[in-house]
């Protein structure tokens, strides 16, 4: 199961709501789900949906250019520019992709959860498979609820059109389902896997994601009970001693370290077989250093680039600031200020230098890393206790030490909170975190207005802490109401 993301292809039925999607080539339910091999194939199909979610720009684009970390080239996709300028419409292709891929993944998970319990097979493995599907369902709903707020909550396999006209569920109901799925998952998932099973969801992945869910539910509310719950769950991961930081930040993203000691959960790709677009897609436009030359989808903002001080070891790993032209052997210097897309600093830490086919890199998507558990623990402790204590400092300073930064000390609750948010920005840049962090801390509007380079001048409004529900879904599902403002 190491390369879970490459197994299945899917049928998209464009005239129906995306709650009603089924896998192409999937055996009929009357003949499938008979034995353990069928069960494993069903779970593999659920994992395979992550390929559609994370190989391209679905999660990445809003988190990079919808926040303050990146800038789209103005000669690129109009929908990408609309996200950056906060003029996006319900027809925006990127927000539409997030919705449709998430609900296809939920349908696959629901099928597993409904069908596998009836198979005659090893009971422990059966419970594990259902736990994996619940983890994946929680992951998809967590993406949906953070992007769109209230969304349809579908927890049963959809077998007819009768099941697709679902209204929005209350926010608490969606979060409660996410929490219930992760609590169930953590009780039945193993601590780790070996060999070809590497890449499956683990107990630590469920606990870590639940800590992040609690952190998100706490939002920007002082004295929220979710702060302590986030700290407790993160501490369970820390005390389990399954995970640790790589000494070198570059090792986090190395192909040889996939499913390594820092990874709670990652989406696996296969170089030149079923890969991602992180190499060709984000190289400088036209740069002859990657297959098909670089696409230059978007560039690094100066405000992000300048946040890394000279001694921060993450900067050289995260960005491409120069390259040697293979034909002339001349060094090409890149800039965060030039208007030329061929000479712009690029995001680079997820690049796969071994790929020989355009948009087929094999670097994993790091969904959750141990460094995030440490920062969740530090942030939650600070909020729960009203000030940072020794454990909170220890947690954030482990991350800073690897980066080559001095330890923090002597901060107030407010300045420590600010330091955590900045550390998350630098540690998880280009990992689909920034927009979510700004929204949950109530800082999105200020950050977007502050990042005003290249004439952004985004007229962001308070309601745009949520994305528009895709218009095709509103048109097809008469029970579904568009988000306010759109």
319-339 pLDDT, tens digit per residue, is 999 999 999 999 999 999 999
Q: With contact defined as beta carbons under 8 Å apart, do 269 and 275 qualify?
A: yes
- In whole angstroms, what is the distance from residue 198 CA to residue 192 CA? 8
Residue 307 within any structural domain of the chain: no
**Distances in Å between the alpha carbon of 454 and those of 300, 320, 341, 348?**
12, 20, 12, 22
Task: Report which of residues 161 and 434 the model is more confident about.
Answer: 434
223-276 pLDDT, tens digit per residue, is 999 999 999 999 999 999 999 999 999 999 999 999 999 999 999 999 999 999
Q: Domain of 23?
A: 4-201+467-476
Residue 376 within any structural domain of the chain: no
Length of the chain: 486
Residue 279 within any structural domain of the chain: no
57-114 pLDDT, tens digit per residue, is 888 999 999 999 999 998 879 999 999 999 999 999 999 999 999 999 999 999 999 9
The model's pTM: 0.93
Residue 414 within any structural domain of the chain: no
442-470 pLDDT, tens digit per residue, is 999 999 999 999 999 999 999 999 999 99
Number of domains in the chain: 1
Which CATH number goes with the domain that contains 13? 1.25.40.390
Helices (H) and strands (E) in the chain, counts: 16, 8
Residue 70 within any structural domain of the chain: yes
Task: Report which of residues 35 and 23 the model is more confident about.
Answer: 35
DSSP category for residue 350: T
Query: Which has the minimum average pLDDT: 24-33, 166-175, 310-319, 398-407?
Result: 24-33
Residue 57 within any structural domain of the chain: yes
Residue 24 within any structural domain of the chain: yes
Residue 192 within any structural domain of the chain: yes
């Amino acid at each position: 199961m190491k390369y879970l993301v490459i197994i299945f292809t899917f049928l998209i039925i464009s005239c129906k709501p995306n709650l009603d999607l089924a896998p192409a080539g999937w055996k009929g339910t009357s003949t499938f789900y008979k034995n353990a091999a069928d069960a494993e194939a069903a779970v593999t199909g659920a994992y395979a949906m992550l390929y559609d979610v994370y190989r391209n720009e679905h999660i990445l684009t809003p988190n990079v250019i919808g926040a303050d970390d990146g800038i789209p080239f103005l000669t690129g996709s109009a929908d990408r520019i609309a996200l950056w300028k906060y003029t996006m419409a319900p027809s925006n292709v990127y927000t539409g992709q997030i919705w449709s891929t998430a609900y296809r993944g939920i349908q696959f998970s629901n099928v597993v959860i409904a069908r596998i319990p009836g198979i005659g097979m090893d009971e422990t493995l059966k419970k594990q498979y259902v736990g994996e599907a619940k983890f994946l369902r929680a992951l998809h709903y967590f993406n949906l609820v953070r992007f769109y707020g209230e969304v349809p909550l579908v927890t049963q396999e959809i077998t007819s059109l009768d099941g697709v006209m679902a209204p929005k569920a209350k926010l608490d109901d969606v979060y409660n389902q996410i929490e219930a799925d992760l609590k169930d998952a953590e009780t039945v998932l193993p601590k780790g896997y070996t060999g070809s099973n590497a890449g499956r969801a683990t107990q630590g992945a469920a606990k870590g994601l639940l800590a992040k869910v609690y952190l998100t539910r706490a939002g920007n509310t002082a004295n929220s009970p979710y702060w302590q719950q986030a700290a407790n769950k993160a501490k369970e991961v820390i005390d389990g001693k399954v995970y640790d930081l790589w000494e070198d930040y570059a090792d986090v993203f190395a192909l040889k370290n996939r499913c390594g000691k820092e990874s709670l959960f990652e989406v696996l790709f296969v170089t030149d077989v079923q890969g991602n677009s992180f190499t060709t897609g984000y190289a400088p436009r036209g740069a002859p250093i990657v297959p098909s030359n670089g696409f230059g989808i978007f560039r690094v903002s100066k405000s992000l680039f300048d946040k890394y001080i000279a001694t921060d070891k993450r900067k050289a790993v995260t960005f491409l600031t120069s390259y040697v032209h293979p034909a002339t052997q001349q060094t090409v210097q890149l800039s965060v200020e030039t208007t030329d897309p061929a000479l712009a600093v690029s995001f680079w830490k997820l690049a796969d230098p071994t790929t020989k086919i355009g948009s087929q890199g094999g670097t994993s998507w790091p969904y959750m890393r141990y460094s995030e558990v440490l920062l969740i623990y530090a942030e939650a402790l600070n909020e729960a206790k009203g000030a940072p204590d020794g454990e909170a400092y220890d947690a954030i300073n482990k991350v800073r030490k690897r980066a080559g930064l001095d330890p923090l000390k002597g901060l107030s609750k407010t300045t420590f909170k600010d330091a955590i948010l900045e550390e998350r920005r630098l540690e998880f840049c280009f990992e689909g975190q920034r927009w979510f962090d700004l929204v949950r801390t109530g800082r999105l509007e200020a950050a977007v207005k502050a990042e005003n380079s290249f004439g952004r001048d985004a007229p962001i409004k308070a309601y745009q802490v949520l994305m528009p529900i895709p218009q095709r879904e509103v048109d097809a599902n008469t029970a579904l109401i568009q988000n306010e403002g759109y």
